Amino acid sequence: MKHLRVAAAVLNTTPLDWDGNARRCLDAIAWARADGVRLLCLPEQCITGYGCEDAFHAQAVHETAARVLRDELLPATAGLCVTFGLPVLCRNGLYNCAAVACDGRLVGLTAKRFLAGDGIHYEPRWFKAWPTDQRSVVDWFGQPVPIGDLHYHMGGLRFGFEVCEDAWVANRPGAQLSRHGIDVILNPSASHFAFGKQQIRKQFVIEGSRAFGVTYVYANLCGNEAGRAIYDGGAIVASGGTLVAEGPRFAFNDGYVVAASCDVDRTRLDRARTVSFQPDQDDDDALLVSIPATFDLFEPRHRNCACSMARAEPVAPDAETQKLWDFARAVALGLFDYLRKSRAHGYALSLSGGADSAACAVLVRAMLQLAEQDLGTDGIRDRLGHVPALRACADIRAMMGVLLTTAYQATANSGAVTRTAAAAIARAVGARHHVWSVQPVLDQYQRIASRALGRPLGWQTDDIALQNIQARVRAPGIWMLANVENKLLLTTSNRSEAAVGYATMDGDTAGGLAPLAGIDKHYLRRWLRWLQKPDRPALPGLAPVPELRHINAQQPTAELRPPDQKQIDEDDLMPYDVLDCLEKAAIRDKQLPAEAWQTACDRFADREPRLLAFWVRRFYTLWCRNQWKRERYAPSFHLDDENLDPRSWCRFPILSAGYARELQELVNRVGMT
């Protein structure tokens, strides 16, 4: 039997962080070497960082990546075969490549064949897709190096690549590689987090290893690499249709390596016994790169799987709980890396006593609780070493007092319920909390406007203006605290509010980061109720927050009208479960108003069809009217395929006819006035 020790690395890279990215690659190589690994796969674009965007067009980026590979990384590959990701220019086309380095020498560059050009990905803007079955040569500091749709042979082992998107398409390169007698397929990826996506990855890795008769090694990024996309790691090794090893997700450290020993003879025999397998017997394989064997790839005995990170991946009891866990873990990791990479000294938050701001506060606490699982308090202080005040903190509660500043900003329309709720949440998470009134500032603005208009302002004539000015007068005070304390201001708007513009520009949308803009209000309320419960399925490290009872007992309200008007968000808009349904229908599924109405009728059979049509008309009218607001929202985290961020997912014209004909057809159909 021939046992091969392979490994997949998970790295937390940062775009254009040459020193940091190189150090992480070297750490992964050292971990793999210590575990006897001979073939190591690093993630996609691990040298430059995946999220360089238009910086990929800069010649200096390609040149620097090549020098880092030559001068800093190649020497570390003595006695190993390691793959690195970097951009490579060939005949004036830029290609996303996996560079194969063996025993200190660059031996080939396999270029990605299928580019990710949908969703949050824009690879075709920067890279060219490499043509199938083509090979070329690039000049590598005076030496010719093969580039193209390549696979490799070394010391009796054949290996090739599916680079990230290559594995997600119907015509996977793995089928062709299998016919060439490949033993190992390496997949260097930059696959962003989305709910339920890890299960899909495992399926194509395991099924690929079975269908192609290979050992399949999947590497991925982890962390908030460039601002919006969160990568969850989860390295996978499968062999012959069996999951061999899987690494943890949402790691807070710089990376880890998952290693496994695989029986190459077994996968070869499994293929030989497969009736449908038809190998390519052409000895003149132009795509094959033969590498002189300078070390022994195979080991004399089988060894157990190993991971350089001690934490095991927690197992949720069901898919519903998994999503609740993953929302907390993804946003917490996103917040931690955003703080670390921006070098801000913490977060500031206008804590209103409502669900959205409370969710932001408990997510900042979750950030530290989950980070402590991986790093410990000393590790957190080290990773956030740019915040001097953390050095004196003995535990994460003390750290919260440094990293989160909150303020309850009252007006005459604010009530005791929200004031009490805000104070309770601030105490629960350990934030530094302030309470003040903005009513004097609000009164002054109203006097200015009244003098300019020559009349008093009133709720009957100026409802929206009077609501909006309350939200706007709250922004300067919390912005000032954020500036004085060198903190990032969190804006609390959720995805449901973004869909219908139920937010005040330069008011509650003020801030530099919108951690909730990727999740709908209906789900967010459910998550808060789950987090309150002490008897819920426990996510290691994330303690329940009983104080959320002050939030969950309320009906969501903007609290901008006088108390006697009893303002409720769902009265202003529609029930949040209906809003969630229409979001999915209109935005995710691209349904027109009549189709969305039928979807709502099917979903809510107990509700009157005319009322549903009324809400459909309201939704589409507000959606079309408020695209300009979505264009101005602070950066948010991508969580699923219902994202509304126009800069990374959902594009819509700022000016349009607003589905006027389609809405009129719906009105006529249901007999509305």
DSSP string computed for 520-553 = -HHHHHHHHHHHH-TTSPPPTT----GGGHHHHT
Residue 569 has pLDDT above 80, yes or no: no
Please count the CA atoms within 13 angstroms of the CA of 515 that sit on its side-chain side: 32
**305, pLDDT greater than 70:** yes
pLDDT for res 572 = 86
Q: Write out the two tokens for 470.
A: 């309350």
- pLDDT of 667 > 90? The answer is yes
- pLDDT tier at 638, thresholds 50, 70, 90: very high
Q: Give which of 15, 51, 50, 161 is closest to 99, Cα–Cα.
A: 161
Neighbours of 600 (CB within 10 A): 23
- Segment 554-558 shows an average pLDDT of 78
Handedness of CA 267, 204, 97, 336 (dihedral sign): negative
Report the residue count for the chain: 673
Phi, psi of 222 (to 5 degrees): -145, 140
Q: In CATH, what is the architecture of 326-437+466-555? A: 3-Layer(aba) Sandwich (3.40)
CB contact at 8 A, 516 and 508: no
pLDDT tier at 295, thresholds 50, 70, 90: very high
Helix ranges (H only) for 156-243 are 173-179, 197-211
Worst-scoring range by mean pLDDT, 41-55, 99-113, 558-572? 558-572
Q: What is the mean pLDDT of residues 573-602?
A: 95
Residue with tokens 């990376």: 255
The predicted structure's pLDDT at residue 567: 82
Q: How far is the CA of 278 from the CAs of 212, 266, 283, 645, in angstroms? A: 11, 18, 15, 47
**pLDDT for position 606:** 94
The whole-chain average pLDDT of the chain stands at 95
Q: Is the pLDDT reported for residue 158 higher than 80? A: yes
What percent of the chain is modeled with pLDDT above 70? 99
Of 672 and 385, more confident: 385
Distance CA 123, CA 129 (A): 9
Query: Which residues are CB-neighbours of 194 under 8 A, at least 6 positions away?
Result: 638, 639, 640, 641
Question: Which pLDDT score is estimated for 654?
Answer: 96
- pLDDT band for position 282 (50/70/90)? confident
153: closest CA among 256, 342, 321, 297?
297
| pLDDT above 80: residue 673 | no
Residues 500-547: pLDDT tens digits? 999 999 999 999 999 999 999 999 999 999 999 998 888 999 999 999
Q: State percent of the chain over pLDDT 90.
A: 89
- Does 301 have pLDDT greater than 80? no
Is 642 within 8 Å of 588 (Cβ atoms)? Answer: yes
Dihedral angle, C-alpha 111, 114, 120, 122, nearest 10 °: 60
Q: Where are the alpha helices (DSSP H) in 533-659?
A: 549-552, 569-572, 576-583, 593-603, 609-625, 627-632
Rg (CA), the chain: 28
pLDDT, one tens digit per residue, over 355-376 is 999 999 999 999 999 999 999 9
d(CA 210, CA 544): 42
> Residues near 570 by Cβ (< 8 Å), separated by ≥ 6?
555, 556, 576
pLDDT for residue 222: 98
Tokens 């989160």 correspond to 404
pLDDT confidence band for 216 (50 / 70 / 90):
very high
Q: Which of 291, 285, 212, 221 is nearest to 250 (CA)?
A: 221
Q: Is the model's pLDDT at 134 over the cut of 70?
A: yes
Dist CA 191 CA 638 (whole Å): 12
Intra-chain end-to-end CA distance of the chain, in Å: 78
Average pLDDT over residues 477-503: 96
The segment(s) of the chain belonging to CATH 3.60.110.10 are: 3-307
Closest CA to 525 of 570, 480, 468: 570
Q: Looking at this protein, which amino acid is placed at residue 661?
A: R
For residues 542 and 328, the answer to whether their CB atoms sit within 8 Å is yes
Give the angle 607-610-615 at the CA atoms, nearest 5°: 80
Amino acid identity, position 563:
P
Ranges of CATH 3.40.50.620 domains, the chain: 326-437+466-555
Q: Is the pLDDT at 281 greater than 80, yes or no?
A: no
pLDDT at res. 283: 67
- 133-164 per-residue burial string, b: 16 or more CB within 10 A, e: under 16: eebbebebeeeebbbbbbbbbbeebbbbbbbb
Among candidates 490, 662, 655, 500, which has minimal Cα distance to 578?
Answer: 500
At the fourth CATH level, the homologous superfamily of domain 3-307 is: Carbon-nitrogen hydrolase (3.60.110.10)
For the record, the structure tokens of 141 come out as: 């500091």
pLDDT at 278: 82
pLDDT at 277: 80
Residue 627 near residue 652, CB atoms below 8 Å? yes
